[in-house]
Structure 1
Amino acid sequence: MKPLGPGRAWSVVLFDLDGTIVDSAAGIVESLAHTFEAMGAAVPSEEILRSYVGPPLLEALRMQGGFTDVDAWNALSIYRDHYGEVAMHAPAFAGLPELLGALADAGIPLAVATSKPEPMARRILEHLGLASRFAVIAGASEDETRSTKADIVSDALARLRAAKVDTSRPVMVGDRGYDVVGASANEVPTILVAWGYGSPIEAHDAIAVADTVDELAAMLTSGVDAASHPGARRTVPGAAAGA
């Protein structure tokens, strides 16, 4: 990727991890299937299992998986043990390492805000050689007391401010509606990426959708112009007009 220009539309960029930086769906689906089987439950379809990528997993196991509180915790433990064995197999999406490097070289502070347990997120980023690009890597606490995207974004912003990073014009980059909701709770706008795991309807409240890494780079350096940018404020298929 060519060096980015001097433009700086945002004071800091917060990135989601799964489906945004890392193509982790295969390992997550494999570990979830193992978890359901180990719990003696029917294994959902791959399509349903992919929907677990994004929201806090303990909540998803309760609400989508139908597990009781006790069983959900047991399932979470089984999942984490299995996922720990396959997590490092997930590659970064093509062009993302170069984009992160270009943003960092342009002096734009970066952070991660992910629903993954923070130690696991850091381990994955270190394995990919990307951890040093981020001023803050914020994730869920392993005891799940900090698990919602809103709480994780709030934690990331607080830690950025403590590190003397300007958070006056933040933007979130993610792939799911959970990213939009969590960022909005902290008055942070969201750009969604089209290469992730979300459905088109989830982009309804995002300020823009980036189809390519180059398009995302332009949005992060030059800003989002709803009138002229091809990815900004597009009509989202399946969304009712005015909804």
Structure 2
Amino acid sequence: MKFPYSLALFDLDGTLVDTAVDIAEAVNRTLDDWKLPQVEEMVIRGWIGDGARVLVETAFRHAGSDVAVDDIMEGFMVHYGETLLLRAKLYPGVAETLEALQSQGVALTVCTNKPQRYVRPLLEHLGIADRFGAMVGGDTLPERKPSALPLLHLAQLFGRQPGDCVMIGDSATDAAAAKAAAMPLVLVSYGYPRGFDLRSTQALAVIDDMRALLSLHPQASGVASASIA
């Protein structure tokens, strides 16, 4: 079956790559620097997706600290870089799906709120960087998801209309960005939804495995989300 969209935009953390263990390590190292209590990884998983600054602010407020985020970020980014490649791993089926889409001539991009300078090193480490024709991070443009700007920028870069593209993500941030860009959306069920009800959206599908993306059928806007087995 031929994939129905000519450009695919992938979120990174929680969609292509499970990075929560490494991100949690960076957060806890930073909390330790400030003599604050550690936080369980499962709690930190619920904070991932809105960018490093929001993550840090959430962690420090959770710890009861009112220290200014600007005073924390430099140290956090050092730890973030140190832990970036420790235990990150691709989700099942990601490598095969990217290869299959590329073989069909689908242009592939990354659209993430992760700081730009960490995106390519992570993807190179995991062996999939060469699959992507462009990568947009959370600080690449003046606005990040849930703004439509990163999605529309990538569509324009490849000369596509939003309706010819599909955003693949795992959270309310991705869903809001796709809606703002009037771009079709697919959500994965295994990422970092942060309490968001994935099936409350007008996504084309909610999939449990990235390989299910290859069976995607285009649907009219407004169709309720569906699972792909």
Choose the corresponding residue for 1:211, options 208, 211, 214: 208
Choose the corresponding residue for 2:15, options 17, 20, 23: 20
Q: Counterpart of 1:59? A: 54
Q: Counterpart of 1:93? A: 91
The AA in structure 2 aligned to 1:122 is: R
CA contact (8 A) 2:49 2:113 kept: yes
The AA in structure 1 aligned to 2:146 is: A
Question: Which whole-Å CA distance do the structure 2 matches of 1:109 and 1:187 have between them?
Answer: 19
CA contact (8 A) 2:201 2:225 kept: no
For the pair 1:78 / 2:95, whether they are aligned, the reply is no
Q: Counterpart of 2:170? A: 175
CA-based RMSD of the aligned residues comes to 2.7
The AA in structure 1 aligned to 2:77 is: R
Which structure 1 segments of 5+ residues have no match?
Answer: 233-243
Note the C-alpha offset of 1:97.
Answer: 0.8
Question: Which whole-Å CA distance do the structure 1 matches of 2:56 and 2:143 have between them?
Answer: 13
Q: Counterpart of 2:197? A: 201
Question: Which whole-Å CA distance do the structure 1 matches of 2:40 and 2:225 have between them?
Answer: 37
Q: Counterpart of 1:119? A: 117
- The number of equivalent residue pairs is 221
For the pair 1:40 / 2:35, whether they are aligned, the reply is yes
Choose the corresponding residue for 1:188, options 183, 187, 198: 183
Note the C-alpha offset of 1:123.
Answer: 1.1
Question: Which whole-Å CA distance do the structure 1 matches of 2:226 and 2:206 have between them?
Answer: 9
Question: Which whole-Å CA distance do the structure 1 matches of 2:59 and 2:164 have between them?
Answer: 35
Note the C-alpha offset of 1:177.
Answer: 1.2
Once the two structures are superposed, residues 12-71 of structure 1 have per-residue CA deviations (whole angstroms, 9 ceiling, x without a partner) of 111000011111010011111111121233333333211221112213433563365x73
Q: Counterpart of 1:31? A: 26
The AA in structure 2 aligned to 1:184 is: K
Question: Which whole-Å CA distance do the structure 2 matches of 1:10 and 1:16 have between them?
Answer: 16
Once the two structures are superposed, residues 123-175 of structure 1 have per-residue CA deviations (whole angstroms, 9 ceiling, x without a partner) of 11122221121121000227xx7463134x52353244234355442211111
Note the C-alpha offset of 1:76.
Answer: 2.3
Q: Counterpart of 2:146? A: 150
Question: Which whole-Å CA distance do the structure 2 matches of 1:165 and 1:196 have between them?
Answer: 27
SS class of match (1:10): coil
Q: Counterpart of 2:132? A: 134
The AA in structure 1 aligned to 2:200 is: H
User: TM-score, with normalisation over the residues of structure 1?
Assistant: 0.79
SS class of match (1:140): coil
Note the C-alpha offset of 1:100.
Answer: 0.4
SS class of match (1:43): coil
Seen in structure 2, the aligned counterparts of structure 1 residues 64 and 182 have a Cα distance that, compared at 3 Å, is farther
Overall identity of the aligned pairs, in %: 28
Task: Give the stretch that moved more between structures: 184-193 or 9-18.
Answer: 184-193
Seen in structure 2, the aligned counterparts of structure 1 residues 37 and 228 have a Cα distance that, compared at 3 Å, is closer
The AA in structure 2 aligned to 1:214 is: R
For the pair 1:231 / 2:223, whether they are aligned, the reply is no
